[in-house]
Amino acid sequence: MHNFADYIDINDEVLDALRFDKPIVALESTIISHGMPYPDNIKTALEVEDTVIQNGAVPATIAIINGRIKIGLTSEEIEYLASSKDVTKVSRRDIPHIIALNASGATTVASTMIFARMAGIKLFATGGIGGVHRGAEKSFDISADLTELAQTSVAVVCAGVKSILDIGLTLEKLETLGVPVIGYKTEEFPSFYTRSSGFGVDCTANDPIECAKILKAKWDLNLDGGVVLANPVPKEYEANSDVISTAIEKALDEANRNNIRGKHVTPFLLAKVKELTVGESLETNIALIKNNAEIAAKIAVEYNKL
């Protein structure tokens, strides 16, 4: 029987937190390598870790570096992910070859969930999850994040799905997969850059204690799989929905014209939206991930008490 511990390096702080049952929040690394320009990416990564610490939990940023799964990164490793061009975006399907070939990869929502579960971490903060792409009825382009949520028992605090996606179909798919979608202090599912989408959530939780109780009930009953904790961007950082919608339409049109497909679509669209909104979307993106890290840490603290 092979042990996945052979492939993992857990840094001392995270190891200490696991040993002494302290609250931990997993953080992904795609946002560092593919989600933001340098040096905003490294600055944000360090600020997000700091936010987790300030709210009583231990941050565990996750990546693959030279074929090793890293649970908790040094500032040098974050710098490497932020500035290197040799970092692959890694979802579930990419993990074996990236590890076998001693390559480096930044983890998506799906792969971060997988590694968090291996390490025994229950809470994960990200910007937005992947979902069903617009036009998926022809392209079948559906993010592996959704199938991961169906089977991997990690709760994901996010600002909904990126508004470049088909939000209605994403929620339908989550329902089919049996993934609870909980609105944090909201009855409406947020759409990443903005607080509203016109779609509802399965239930509303009004504080970190309620969230923690829902997670405990789910996993105590052996209902495997994740939970989406949808946490809207703070009002003062919300982007203008008309500006964002127009930018998304233009970006999607350009992606279609240039035949951009698969895992290249999301980074392309996000970069294009940032360019078209003169950075407004980047400011919103940074604010919402910090906000998600804060709420995830507070939930992790309460979950640990249970």
| Residue 89 a catalytic site member | no
**Out of 28, 148, 238, 302, which one is annotated catalytic?**
28
Peptide bond into 267 cis (omega under 30): no
Dist. CA 270–CA 135, nearest whole Å: 18
Sorted by sequence, the CB contacts under 8 Å of residue 255 that are 6+ apart come out as 265, 268, 269, 272
Q: Which two tokens stand for residue 49?
A: 């870790």
Select which of 70, 89, 162, 274 is catalytic.
Answer: 162
Sort residue 21 into left (φ over 0), alpha (ψ -120 to 50) or beta: left
Per the annotation, the verdict on 235 as an active-site residue is: no
Tokens of 256: 């279609």
Q: Which residues are annotated as catalytic?
A: 28, 162
